[in-house]
């Protein structure tokens, strides 16, 4: 199957790969390890991309972007995820925080937040999930109660990636109780706030896991004061923004590119050992390569729909189901292949480290950004509504 996007895309891929080779260490396994040098590598690489106008390539020029097509930005996304996301946490600001602020933010919010994202100078975290409101996000309990000309936010968020290093939080809180006034459904009465993480009313507590530091955190808000200037969009109408966020977020993570790179490397790494692998295992390997192409096609479909403004939650969910299942299934195949790899050469050490890291991250893939069960429900609803 031909995924050729034209000469410009090919040149861009080569440029990005050269930059990775020049600026990212070969054993780099992401920005969020125990070694602070890995985070600095990612931060410096983001500044390098920004200097070349590649970090926010498809953003409009007036917002600090390159004015390129969404397909060129897709190339950037794929190359970054294929090479262990050397942008670190910046992909969040680039893929959806920035575009959402472009759509819903005031001119002052755009002037404040978009230039630092485009320059690779700021990290964002997402204050959505709570202990009893993960996939059922609208059931959240963090509240913003009126106080003079603003609100006081109190509550807890959990599984908040990058909270220990982020400068800003994209925070969802309840501003009106269900059953009061016009708020009759739990999806109503919710508001987005853009808040600085250095406020003393915010406490971050890391959650240890096999994913390494910085990924998972609890965040507590103890009467955090926010004002009208911190509101993104309209008070009590935050759910429509959340739906936009999910559409951008779920297609923005091109994990299929990393799966395909590791699967494609396996025969070279094994060398003569490859032919001695069980036929059943090589069959599973071929199946995973096929699934990589399926996930890529679904991603491209969502990109095309985003461009036309016709994307629905079902479209994003279909891709999310495919790519998270690919993540886990390919990780199992790669671990079985890795068991046959010799430990006597440099290339083998690279492959084994990458495969182990991929397997660890894949374990949570069907839960993060909305569980696969919720994605199936959203897709089923979309299909049923289309049938009627």
Residues belonging to the active site: 249
**Beta strands 190-196; 168-174: pairing state:** antiparallel
Maximum CA extent, the chain: 73
Strand residues in 216-271 grouped as ranges (E) = 217-227, 231-232
**Is residue 93 within 8 Å of residue 102, measured between CB atoms?**
no
Distance of alpha carbon 323 from alpha carbon 296, whole angstroms: 8
Q: In angstroms, rounded to a whole number, what is the distance separating the alpha carbons of residues 331 and 263?
A: 9
Inter-CA distances, 215 with 193, 204, 246, Å: 22, 12, 19
Helix (H) or strand (E) holding 173: strand 168-174
Cβ atoms < 10 Å from Cβ of 314: 17
For tokens 């390569």, the residue is 289
Q: How far apart are CA 344 and CA 363, in angstroms?
A: 29
Helix (H, G, I), strand (E, B) or coil at 151: strand
């Amino acid at each position: 199957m031909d995924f050729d996007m034209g000469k410009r895309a090919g040149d861009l891929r080569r440029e990005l790969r050269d930059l990775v080779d020049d600026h990212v260490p070969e054993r780099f396994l992401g920005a969020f390890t125990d070694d602070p040098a890995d985070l600095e590598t990612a931060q410096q690489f983001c500044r390098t991309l920004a200097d070349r106008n590649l970090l926010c390539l498809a953003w409009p020029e007036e917002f600090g972007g390159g004015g390129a097509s969404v397909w060129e930005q897709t190339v950037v996304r794929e190359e970054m995820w294929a090479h262990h996301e050397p942008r670190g946490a910046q992909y969040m600001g680039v893929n959806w925080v920035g575009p959402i602020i472009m759509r819903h933010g005031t001119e002052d919010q755009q002037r404040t937040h978009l230039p630092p994202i485009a320059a690779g100078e700021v990290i964002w975290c997402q204050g959505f999930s709570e202990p009893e409101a993960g996939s059922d996000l609208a059931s959240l309990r963090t509240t913003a109660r009126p106080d003079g000309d603003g609100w006081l936010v109190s509550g807890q968020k959990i599984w908040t990636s990058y909270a220990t290093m982020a400068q800003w939080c994209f925070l969802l809180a309840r501003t009106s109780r269900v059953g009061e006034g016009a708020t009759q459904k739990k999806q109503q009465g919710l508001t987005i706030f853009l808040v600085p993480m250095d406020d003393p009313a915010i406490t971050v507590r890391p959650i240890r896991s096999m994913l390494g530091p910085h990924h998972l955190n609890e965040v507590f808000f103890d009467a955090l004061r926010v004002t009208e200037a911190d509101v993104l969009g309209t008070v009590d109408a935050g759910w429509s923004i959340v739906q936009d966020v999910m559409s951008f977020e779920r297609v923005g993570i091109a994990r299929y590119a990393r799966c395909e790179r590791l699967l494609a490397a396996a025969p070279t790494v094994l060398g003569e050992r490859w032919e001695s692998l069980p036929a059943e295992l090589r069959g599973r390997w071929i199946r995973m390569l096929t699934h990589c192409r399926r996930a890529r096609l679904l991603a491209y479909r969502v990109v095309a729909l985003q461009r036309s403004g016709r994307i629905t939650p079902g479209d994003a969910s279909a891709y999310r189901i495919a790519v998270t299942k690919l993540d886990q299934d390919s990780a199992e195949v790669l671990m079985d292949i890795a068991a046959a790899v010799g430990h006597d050469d440099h290339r083998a050490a690279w492959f084994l480290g990458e495969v182990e890291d991929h397997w660890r991250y894949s374990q949570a893939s069907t839960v993060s950004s909305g569980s696969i069960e919720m994605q199936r429900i959203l897709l089923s609803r979309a299909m049923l509504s289309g049938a009627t």
